[in-house]
Structure 1
C-alpha cells in the first residue's frame, strides 16, 4: 500500500533535478511513489529521469508535450494511488524526514497537513512561517472563518509543496489545478481544497527548501506580463467559497487587500537592481500602476479602510498611489533602499 504519492512536474530542470530526486529517494518514509511528469523538457531532464526510473521502482514517469505546471500536476493526480498526495518542484529539495513528518502528523485522518519552508536565494536561506497556531487540529468552522479568507487576501501559504493532502478529498470533489491561470494557481487549488476540508493541522517544522536563483538569465523580469497577471488575479471569481462567515462584500474587500499588497510590492520590484530598469522606465511602470482602472477602482472603494491597516511607510506609498504622485512613491522607495544598505 502506498501511503504518499509525490507529484513532481519537470520542465528543463536538469541543473537541479538530481539533487531533487536524491532528496526524494532518501525519504525515511519508504512507502512512497514518486510521479515525475516530464512536461516537454528540451534539455537533459528526460534522460536524467529515465536513469532514475531504472534505478528505483518507486519512480514513475509520464512524458507529455509542454502544457504548463497545472496540467502536469493534474496528470500526476490522475495516476496517484497513495492515501495522501504531496508536491515537489523539480528545482527544490526536501529533508529526508519530510514526508514522514507530514504523514505522521496526519495520523491517517486529517485532510491536510501544512509545514513551514525555507527559501534559498543566491545562497541565503530565509524561513517562511505560516500564521496559524501549530500542532493542533483546526476544525471546519475555523477553516471557513479564518483560513479561507486568508487564502483570498494573502499568498504567503499558497504553495502546494508545503502540504500533504488526503487523496480521498481530491477525488471526491474532483479538485484540480486551474488551467490557463497565469498567477495564483496554487492559491486557487488550496482555497478549493480547504473549503472541502473538515480537519487540518499546521505543524512547527521546516522540511521544504524552495530554491530561487534571482540573478539567473532565465528569470528576467517582464513588468507588463507580471502586472497583467496581477490584474487578472484580482478579477477571479471566489463565489464558490462563500459560507456563513464569508459573503460577497467581504470577498471583494479581501481581493482588494491582496491587490494593493501586490502593487506595492511591484513598485519595489521595479526599483530592484535585478530589473535593470532605467529611472524613466521605473517611472513609466509606476504611472501604469497608478493609472490602471483596477487600481483606481480599488483605491476609490477601499482606500480609507486599507490605509489604516498599513505601516507608516506603506501609508506614504498608498497616498502616492491614490493621488498619482509618482515622484513621492519613487522617492520613498529609493530612500528606504538607501537606508537599508547602510
Structure 2
C-alpha cells in the first residue's frame, strides 16, 4: 500500500504485494466459544460504510472452541475467500490467538476486535479518513458503547473530550486508556518493534501491549462519536467477568504490573504519570471492593496484599484521586493500603473522613 498525497491529505491505494492484495484494515478476531455472537460481529464488518472487498481483511483465530465457532467461521470464509481467513489452533489463550492472526495479517492497519463485540457501521471509514489527514499518527482509539445486559457509554470514554484529538501522552498522561480492541494500529509499528501479546497471561494482556506501544510512539489519536460496541453479556461468562472472579488471575496480573514498573523505572525511582494512570486504572478494578468475589486462604491474601502494596509505592496520590470509576471511599481505602500495607477498614475510613 502506498500513500498518494493530495494537498495535506494522504490517500491510501491498495496494491498487490507478491501476488497478495493488501487491504487497508486487518481485523483479527480471537474466537473462543462465541457461536452465539460471531455472525453479528462479522456482519458489522461486512456492513461498514467502506468497500468490504477492497479494504477489509478479517482473520478469525479459533482458539480451541468447544462449540460451533469454527464451523461458523469456515462458512464465512467460504462466502468471502478473498477477505476472510480462518486459523484453527488448540486452546492457547487470547494472546496466542491474536499473535497468530498478526503473523498472517496483510493490512496496513490492524485491529483486535473481540468475537462477541461489533463496530458501528461508520467506524472504519472514519478511521481511514483520520489516518489520511494525520499521516504521522500511527495509533487511533475510539470510544466504547455498551449493549445487551448494560447499555450506554463506557467509563473509559472520559478521555474523549473533543471530536478529534492528537494526544501526546507526556503532556496529557490522563488520556491513556488500555482497551486494545477499540484501537487501530499501523501494522509496521508492531512488526518493526517486535511487539505482540504476552502468551500465557490470563488477564491484562491489553495493558502490557498498550504500555509498549505508548513507550514507542508517545502519541495517538482519539476519534469521538464513532463507537466500538462492547457487549456486556447477559450471561456473565466473558473473559473479563471470569477474570474478576478467578483468584488465579490476581497475583499474576499484579506481577505483570510490577514488571512494567521495573522496565520503566527512572533513575529517581519513579515512573511516568501516563504509566501510573494506566496501572492504577486496571488495579482499581481489582482492589476497590471490600469483598473479593471468591474465597482464598490467608497465605493468598497476604501475598496479594504484598504485591498491591509494592505497586502503590509508585503511584502518586493525585493519580489515585483522578480515578473517576471508583468512589471517594475506595480511593481513601487504596491510599490506606499504600501507606499501611494492610487491608483497609472501610468503616474506620468513613468515620475519619466525615
TM-score (norm 2): 0.73
1:135-284 pair list within 5 angstroms: 138=166, 142-147=168-173, 157-197=177-217, 200-213=220-233, 215-216=235-236, 219-220=241-242, 221-238=244-261, 249-251=269-271, 265-269=285-289, 271=291, 275=293
2:307 alignment counterpart: 294
Q: Give the Cα–Cα distance (whole angstroms) in 2 for the partners of residues 176 and 291 of structure 1.
A: 27
Given the alignment of the two structures, is residue 313 of structure 1 paired with residue 305 of structure 2, yes or no?
A: no
Q: Which residue of 2 aligns with 1:114?
A: 141
Which residue is equivalent to 2:58?
A: 34
Q: Which moved more, 1:309-318 or 1:222-231?
A: 309-318
Contact persistence 1:92–1:209 (CA under 8 A)? yes
Distance 1:211 1:269, change over 3 A: farther
Count of paired positions: 315
Structure 1 pair 290–316 and aligned structure 2 pair: CA distance change class (3 A) = farther
Q: Does 1:93 align with 2:118?
A: yes
CA-based RMSD of the aligned residues comes to 3.8
In structure 1, how many angstroms separate the alpha carbons of the residues matched to 2:58 and 2:314?
A: 48
What is the aligned partner in structure 2 of residue 61 from structure 1? 86
Deviations 1:265-302 (A, max 9, x none): 43555648xx4x6xxx59x7899269722344456787
The question of whether the paired residues in 2 share the 8 Å contact of 1:230 and 1:262 is answered with no
The verdict on how the C-alpha distance between 1:6 and 1:145 changes in structure 2, with shifts beyond 3 A counting, is same
Deviations 1:295-329 (A, max 9, x none): 44456787877777687423542465455776832
How much has 1:238 moved relative to structure 2? 4.8
Tell me if structure 1 keeps the 8 A contact 2:143–2:227: yes
With over 3 angstroms needed to count, the CA separation of the structure-2 counterparts of 1:291 and 1:67, relative to structure 1, is closer
Q: Does 1:24 align with 2:41?
A: no
> CA, structure 1 residues 286+211, in 2 after alignment: closer, same or farther (shift >3 Å)?
farther
Q: Distance in 2 between matches of 1:226 and 1:15?
A: 26
Secondary structure of 1:177's counterpart equals coil
- CA contact 1:7–1:34 (8 Å) conserved in 2: yes
Please identify, of 251-260 and 46-55, the stretch whose mean Cα deviation from structure 2 is larger.
251-260
Query: Shift of the alpha carbon at 1:227?
Result: 2.3
The alpha carbon displacement at 1:91 in A equals: 0.5
d(CA) in 2 for partners of 1:303, 1:196:
23
Structure 1 residues 194, 325: closer, same or farther in 2, change over 3 A? closer
Distance 1:307 1:163 in 2: 25
Closer/same/farther in 2, CA of residues 195 and 296 from structure 1, 3 Å limit = closer
Partners in 2 of 1:306 and 1:99 — Cα distance? 33
Alpha-carbon distance, 1:226 to partner: 3.3
Residue ranges of structure 1 left out of the alignment (5+ in a row): 152-156, 334-342
SS in 2 for 1:14: coil
User: Per-residue deviation at 1:44?
Assistant: 0.3
Report the CA distance between 1:206 and its aligned residue. Answer: 3.1
Q: What's 1:339 paired with?
A: none
TM-score (norm 1): 0.76
- Equivalent of residue 15 in structure 1, options 36, 45, 51: 36
1:129 counterpart = 2:157:
yes
